[in-house]
């Protein structure tokens, strides 16, 4: 039986619609509130229907010297056209995009790669997808 970690897929977000895209400055200032946006389907749109949609995106931060990731947040997308009239007749759809802000209190700078933002997205029929973005903290 495979471990879930063996089933998480990676690809280039420019050609694969399931890959989360993490948008954040490459270098952030220690102690300052920094916006981070995570979405997917930026280059190739992902469907958002009752039958096929993104359920959630998890965002993590791993400092360079850490053996484990720190969970920043889970963003759930729970409306996909469901209603008593049937699939895709509901009044609202949640788009698979989330914005938050983070603060990293300590300067961590090295030659680069001070930390990594990591995102995992779950599609209800295509499974788990992940991506990373290195950030420098000065
Ligand atoms: Fe999908």
Given this model, what pLDDT does residue 35 score? 98
Q: What's the whole-number mean pLDDT along residues 6-32?
A: 95
Judged against a pLDDT cut of 90, whether residue 129 lies above it is answered with: yes
Assign residue 31 a region (left: φ > 0; alpha: ψ between -120 and 50; beta: otherwise). left
Residue 3 clears pLDDT 90, i.e. is over it: yes
Task: Please check the confidence at residue 113 and state whether its pLDDT lies above 80.
Answer: no
Q: How far is the CA of 45 from the centre of ligand 1 (A)?
A: 10
- Indicate the domain borders of the chain: 4-137
Q: Any catalytic annotation for residue 64? A: no
Answer yes or no: 17 catalytic: yes
Q: What distance in Å separates the CA atoms of residue 98 and residue 21, rounded to the nearest whole number?
A: 11
Total count of residues recorded for the chain: 138
Residue 112: pLDDT over 90: no
pTM score: 0.93
Which one of 29, 52, 71, 95 is the catalytic residue?
52
Average pLDDT, integer, range 21-43: 95
* HSE-CB for 100 with a 13 A CA cutoff: 16
35 Cα: distance to centroid of ligand 1 (angstroms): 27
Q: Which residues contact 60 (CB under 8 A, 6 or more apart)?
A: 69, 70, 71, 72, 117, 118, 119, 120
Set 6, 32, 46, 95: catalytic member: 46
Q: Give me the catalytic one of 53, 96, 114, 123.
A: 123
Query: Above 80 in pLDDT, residue 103?
Result: yes
46 is catalytic: yes
Cα separation, 24 vs 67, whole angstroms: 23
Classify burial at 79, counting beta carbons within 10 Å of its beta carbon; exposed 0-12, middle 13-18, buried 19 or more. middle
Q: How confident is the model at residue 1 (pLDDT cuts 50, 70, 90)?
A: confident
Fold held by 4-137? Immunoglobulin-like (2.60.40)
Give the integer Cα–Cα distance in Å for 128 and 83: 26
Tens of pLDDT along 37-90?
A: 999 998 899 999 999 999 999 999 999 889 999 999 999 999 999 999 999 999
Q: How far is ligand 1, taken at its centre, from the CA of residue 25, in Å?
A: 28
Res 75: pLDDT: 98
């Amino acid at each position: 039986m495979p471990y879930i970690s063996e089933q998480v897929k990676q690809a280039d977000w420019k050609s694969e619609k399931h890959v989360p895209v993490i948008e954040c400055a490459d270098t952030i200032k220690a102690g300052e509130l920094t916006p981070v946006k995570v979405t997917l389907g930026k280059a190739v749109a992902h469907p958002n229907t009752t039958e096929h949609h993104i359920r959630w995106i998890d965002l993590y931060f791993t400092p360079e010297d850490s053996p484990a990731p720190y969970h920043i947040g889970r963003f759930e997308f729970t409306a996909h056209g469901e209603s008593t009239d049937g699939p895709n007749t509901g009044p609202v759809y949640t788009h698979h995009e989330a914005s938050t802000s983070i603060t990293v209190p300590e300067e961590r700078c090295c030659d680069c790669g001070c930390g990594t933002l990591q995102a995992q997205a779950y599609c209800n029929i295509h499974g788990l997808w992940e991506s990373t973005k290195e950030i420098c903290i000065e």
